Structure formats: C-alpha cells, structure tokens
Structure 1
Amino acid sequence: MRQDWEPEDLIEVWTLLEDDMAKLRNKSGANRLGFALLLKFFEVEARFPEDAGDVPKAAVEYVAQQVKVPAKEWTAYDWAGRAIKRHRVEIREAYGFRVCTEENQAQLAEWLAVELCPVELSRDRLAEAVVARCRRQLMEPPTPGQVGRLVGSAVSTFEERFCQAATGWLSATTRTLLDELVVEDVGGAEGEGRVGGGTAFFTELKADPAGLGLESLLGEITKLERVRRLQLPPELFADVSEKQVAAWRARASKEYPSDLRAMKPQMRYTLLATLCHVRQTEITDPLVDLFIQLVAKINTRAEKKVEGEFVKELKRVRGKEGILLRLAEADLSGGRGVHAQSARGGGEGERGPLPRAGAHGAAFVLLESLAADAQAVAEGAGAEGQQHCLPAGDGRDRPAQEVSGPADQGGGALRRGGEDPSGAGGAGAVVQGRGR
C-alpha cells in the first residue's frame, strides 16, 4: 500500500462508517484501534497487513481520531496474540472472504501455469493476477512472500512442460545436431567434420552480418544452409506466443556453450531449437535485403564506370588526321578558306583565319603532329608544307621555318611538326595547297 495520502483521500478511504463503528463496540484501547485499522486496510487491499509498517502513518492518526484512541497505541497492538486472530476471522466474515488454503494455492499455481505463463513473462504481473483472482473468488490472498513462491512454482511447471513438448517434436537426428552446436572442441579445427558446426558456428550463429559486401552475403547464405540442416519441424512453435518464443531465443543467446552442456537435455534442446528457429527467419529476411543492397551497389558502380568511359569518349577525338585531311582536300578542290581545330591533350585548340595561297589555294594550320598516312595523302594532293616551331608558352611571334615539298609533286610536301631547335616548344605545320 502507498504511504503518502492526501487529506481528501484519507477522508474518502479511511473514514469509518456507521456499520464499521458498530463492530467496535466491545473493543477498547490498542485492540479497538488495531481492529479499525485492519478493517479499513482489508477493505482497500483485500488482505491483512503483514506488520504495523504496512499501514500509512497518516491513516493511523486519522483513524485514531475517529475511535478516540491515541495513535501511539498502534505500536502496542499484539500481532501474534489470540486477539488479532479473532479480529481477522471477524473481518473475513464481515466481507464474506475465506482463507486461502494450500489446496487453493496449488490450484492458483496450476491456473497460472496453464493460462497466464504462456502469454505473460512479468512475474510482477503474474503476482497481481493471483491477488485479483483471489478477490474475485472472495478468498484472502496469500502473503506477498507466499504469492512470490507460488508464481515461481507456476513458472517452473510451465517451463518443464514447454521443454517436454518442444523436445517431443525433435527427431533423434536433430537432437544430435543440436548437441554438436555446443560440444566441446578437442583438437583440430573447430567444428571440423560436424554437420552442427561446433561452438565456432554457435558463436557465428548469434552474430549479425558484418557489413554490406559479397563476403558477408556468402557468409549469411552458409549460415542459413547450416541452420536448415538441423531439420527443425516448421510447426515446432506454431502454438506458442511470439513473445514467449522471443524470450527463449534471447535467453539462449546469453548462454555460453559450457552452460548449455550442463543443463538438462530437454532444457538444452528447447533453448537451442528456439534460437535456431528464430535465427532462420532473422537470417532469411535480412539476406534478401542484403542481396538487394549489394545489387544496387553493383549497379551504381557500373553506372559510374559507364558514365566515366562515356565522358572519356566524348573528350577523345578519334581520327583527327582523317578529319583534317578531308578538310584539306575539300579546300583544295573548292578554293575556300578552311579553319581547322585540333585538340592537344583533350583540350580545345587554337582556331583562326588562314592566309590564302592563291586564287584556288588554301592554307590550314595544324597544331598537332600528323600521322604518316595523312602526310602521304597530303603530299599526293600537291600541298606545300611549312613547319612552324613554337616555343613553350605563347611563341607566336617567332618566325616560321619553311620546309619545301618534293619538286616532282608540283608543290610542297606536308611534314610532321617537330620541336624547335632549342627543344623548348611544340611544333605545328602550315600547309598551303594550290589547285591543279
């Protein structure tokens, strides 16, 4: 019972009514005060206080004023004498309650084991359920200590029956494989030659995936295959509440292999079977998510690689020599000025008007070295080539060095550009062609 009471609460709960006062007529002193306090306490709690400290001090003072007995007489009340036993009998009869016998306690324990333990894990709530059931049956509940022992007995009974039922579903092969999960490794590699996997797999079984990656995915697949080899029946825990299964799974995860080996076989098999049963679902669902994430990661990397290759292709100019050669041939045949652009190192080149060589001639500047095949075609087209060597930086003010082409072609030859004589600059070629 709570110890802090507000004045209005005291008046509402601890006020003695006319019928209550009638029961006090033949009592006096400490017995009068003690009977009045026991009466109101039982009315609130449906049980008797275990000692004087269970009754709030504020209630003692308030009731003492009503019965005209000093509050200090409460300490003189005999808790082991005949008077208190007689008072309890009288109060039970007044409210129509009976004593909870040992037979009644056994029935309460059985009721807990069958009805509440399969769905309720909190022992405090189980104890509250016992007190509430006693009130409904107009039976004085056992003392708090007795209720605690009663609840413990009910839980033990339920666990024993639960383990017996779960073990009954397991085949001899499955039990052997479950034992191999916690068997002590003696020499050699851990779990070597065992389908169960040994203590190494038992530790691995309780662990979550290491991270996103192919190795983690394969590890989870292997773990799932090993769990399925245990051949656990699908209907093993079909009639058990999810809350109860989760509690046994958590309990198994906290146990060490040595502790499990020391347990009774039925308890060990139930704990291991619960752990493997739940882990099979816990591994399967995240495994799908892990596979989806891994595929998405691979796709992202592939897209980035393709985009990178595409950008490189855009930056790279293929067949520059052929493009420039076709421009030269078109200009030589049509007599129009042509602007040529070249790229050096993937960037943009210089462009500008080229001087005309004649009425039907054209000139173009190549800021890039030409391949041998382009040179040969240009020579065949009757182009006159001049080589301009540019120094590093802006060397456009330097004079060009003219290189004449073969005389038998009717014009200059197209020559590859080289470095300038000082070795400090790129070279380009100015080609002039005349129409024939």
Structure 2
Amino acid sequence: MLEAERELVDGKYEGTRLGYALQLKFFLAHGRFPDGREEFDSEIVEFVARQVDATASQLDEYAWSGRSAKRHRSEIRAHLGFRECSASDVERLAGWLAVSVCEAEREPSRVRDELAGRMLAESIEPPSRKQVDRLVRSALHRSENSLCSRITTRIGPDAEDRLDALLGGTDDGDGVFSLIRSAPGNVSLSTLLTEISKLRAVRGGSWRGPRDRVDT
C-alpha cells in the first residue's frame, strides 16, 4: 500500500479500516467499488489486513451498504477525483456509444468494455451493473434504429416495390423470403430451378415459383 493510501486508511476506526482499504484498492484496480465481501478472495483479505494492522475477522462487521461504507466511498471518490454517474451522464454516454461504438461493435460485452474505458477516462464511477446493462442495451437499440433509418432514406420507390415483393407471399402461400432461406434439399433438376428462382428473387425482386418455372 502506497504512503498516500496508508495515510487515508490510518485515520479510520479500527473496525472499519480493513473495509475502507479493500474498497480503495478494489476501486484503483477495477474502476468501480466492490459489491461486497464475495468479491474478495480470503488470501487478498488476509494480505491487506496485515498491511493496515487489522485482522481478517474484522471484515465480518463491515456493513457494505451501511452509512460508514457509503461515506468511505464518497471520500475515496473525492481523493481520486471521481464523481458518481448522473442521469445526464447516462444519456450522454448512451448517445456516444450508439454513434462511436455500436455501429461497428454489436457484442454487448465489448460495448461494456468500451463504456468502462470511457468512464474511467472521464473519472466517472460506473453505476450498478444492472444500470450498465440497460445503458448498453439502449445504445445498441439506438444504433440499430439509426442505421435502419439511414437505410430507409436511401431506398427509392422501385427498390421498395422489389422489397415488398420479396417479403410478400407467393401463389402457394409461402413468403418469398422464407423460401429463399429454405434449405436446397437433394440435388435434382427441380431443386436447381428452385435455387435459380431464389437468386432471381434476390437480384430483381421476382419469384418464379413451382407453377411458372422455365419449361424444360
């Protein structure tokens, strides 16, 4: 433990000193506060306890959601120059993710990593994990809607008609798009003609179904 960190810890009541030290070291390592005792291995607790002249058993008395623990987190944030995440931060970060991250990255875990890095760079304490998950889902949804809107504005009337034909039904009652996605089946003249019809449908929005295929 560094000298500056030790000075912070030494001023704490003996019964809460270990909890304070663990919160401090955890935040320095992960950029967030621990959810509770379960985030620490026993070996880590023993090691830090020796550094702050405490015993590991004293951690059993530390109320992680109590007033002392909350005050400790506030002091640690102030010491490190961090602040809590506000509602305006959440809205701004969701917008940043949607534009700068989610258009290229759709994997939620990687989006969360980008968010964590951004919040660390801005000295913002991350909100709860549930709030982070909601923020990431919101950003992914925004990005998807934005992409769809941009695509829609670039589609001309002719392309719209072809898409309608592609997504509509055939004389046999099946959707053309569903037929395009269907497996080709065993190799035969019939399946070959069906696959040709699929290709035509993709290229031009038309479908040559079983009743109007090319005669052979």
TM range (shorter): 0.7 to 0.9
Q: Distance in 2 between matches of 1:25 and 1:229?
A: 76
| Residue 172 of structure 1: how far off its partner (Å) | 4.2
Q: Does 1:190 align with 2:172?
A: yes
Q: Distance in 2 between matches of 1:26 and 1:202?
A: 70
Q: Distance in 1 between matches of 2:140 and 2:36?
A: 29
Point out 4+ residue stretches in structure 1 off by more than 6 angstroms.
Answer: none
- Structure 2 partner of 1:202: 177
- Which of 93, 103, 115 is the matching residue for 2:88? 103
Structure 2 letter corresponding to 1:32: R
RCO greater where, 1 or 2, for CA within 8 Å and sep 6 or more? 2
Q: Distance in 2 between matches of 1:229 and 1:184?
A: 16
Q: Distance in 1 between matches of 2:169 and 2:200?
A: 22
Q: Distance in 2 between matches of 1:57 and 1:176?
A: 66
Of the structure 1 ranges 168-177 and 89-98, higher mean CA displacement relative to structure 2 is found in 168-177
* Secondary structure of 2:34's aligned partner: coil
The answer on whether the counterparts of 1:36 and 1:63 sit within 8 Å (CA) in structure 2 is: yes
Q: Distance in 1 between matches of 2:200 and 2:167?
A: 18
Q: What do the CA deviations read for 1:397-431 (whole angstroms, capped 9, x no partner)? A: xxxxxxxxxxxxxxxxxxxxxxxxxxxxxxxxxxx
- Which of 9, 33, 46 is the matching residue for 2:31? 46
Q: Does 1:155 align with 2:140?
A: yes
- Structure 2 partner of 1:138: 123
Q: Does 1:167 align with 2:152?
A: yes
- Which of 5, 15, 27 is the matching residue for 2:12? 27
Q: What do the CA deviations read for 1:154-185 (whole angstroms, capped 9, x no partner)? A: 01111111222222223445445434545567
The answer on whether the counterparts of 2:165 and 2:205 sit within 8 Å (CA) in structure 1 is: no
Q: Distance in 2 between matches of 1:227 and 1:111?
A: 35
- Structure 1 partner of 2:73: 88
| Residue 91 of structure 1: how far off its partner (Å) | 1.1
Of the structure 1 ranges 144-153 and 94-103, higher mean CA displacement relative to structure 2 is found in 94-103
Q: Distance in 1 between matches of 2:9 and 2:178?
A: 69
- Structure 1 partner of 2:163: 178
The answer on whether the counterparts of 2:166 and 2:201 sit within 8 Å (CA) in structure 1 is: no
Residues 10-409 of structure 1 aligned to structure 2 (within 5 Å): 16-183=1-168, 189-190=171-172, 198-199=174-175, 201-207=176-182, 209-210=184-185, 215-230=190-205
**TM-score, scaled to structure 1:** 0.43
Q: Distance in 2 between matches of 1:181 and 1:162?
A: 21
| Residue 135 of structure 1: how far off its partner (Å) | 1.2
Q: Distance in 2 between matches of 1:25 and 1:69?
A: 11
| Residue 39 of structure 1: how far off its partner (Å) | 0.9
The answer on whether the counterparts of 1:113 and 1:158 sit within 8 Å (CA) in structure 2 is: yes
The answer on whether the counterparts of 1:41 and 1:55 sit within 8 Å (CA) in structure 2 is: no
Percent identity reads 36
Q: Distance in 2 between matches of 1:94 and 1:140?
A: 13
The answer on whether the counterparts of 2:102 and 2:140 sit within 8 Å (CA) in structure 1 is: yes
**TM-score, scaled to structure 2:** 0.83
Q: Distance in 2 between matches of 1:80 and 1:141?
A: 17
* Secondary structure of 1:47's aligned partner: coil
Q: Distance in 2 between matches of 1:67 and 1:227?
A: 70
Q: Distance in 2 between matches of 1:93 and 1:183?
A: 61
Q: Distance in 1 between matches of 2:34 and 2:15?
A: 16
Q: Distance in 1 between matches of 2:4 and 2:23?
A: 15
Structure 2 letter corresponding to 1:148: D
The answer on whether the counterparts of 2:166 and 2:202 sit within 8 Å (CA) in structure 1 is: no
User: Mind listing any 5+ residue stretches in structure 2 that lack a counterpart?
Assistant: 207-216
Q: What do the CA deviations read for 1:357-387 (whole angstroms, capped 9, x no partner)? A: xxxxxxxxxxxxxxxxxxxxxxxxxxxxxxx
The answer on whether the counterparts of 1:113 and 1:155 sit within 8 Å (CA) in structure 2 is: yes
Aligned residues: 206
* Secondary structure of 2:124's aligned partner: coil
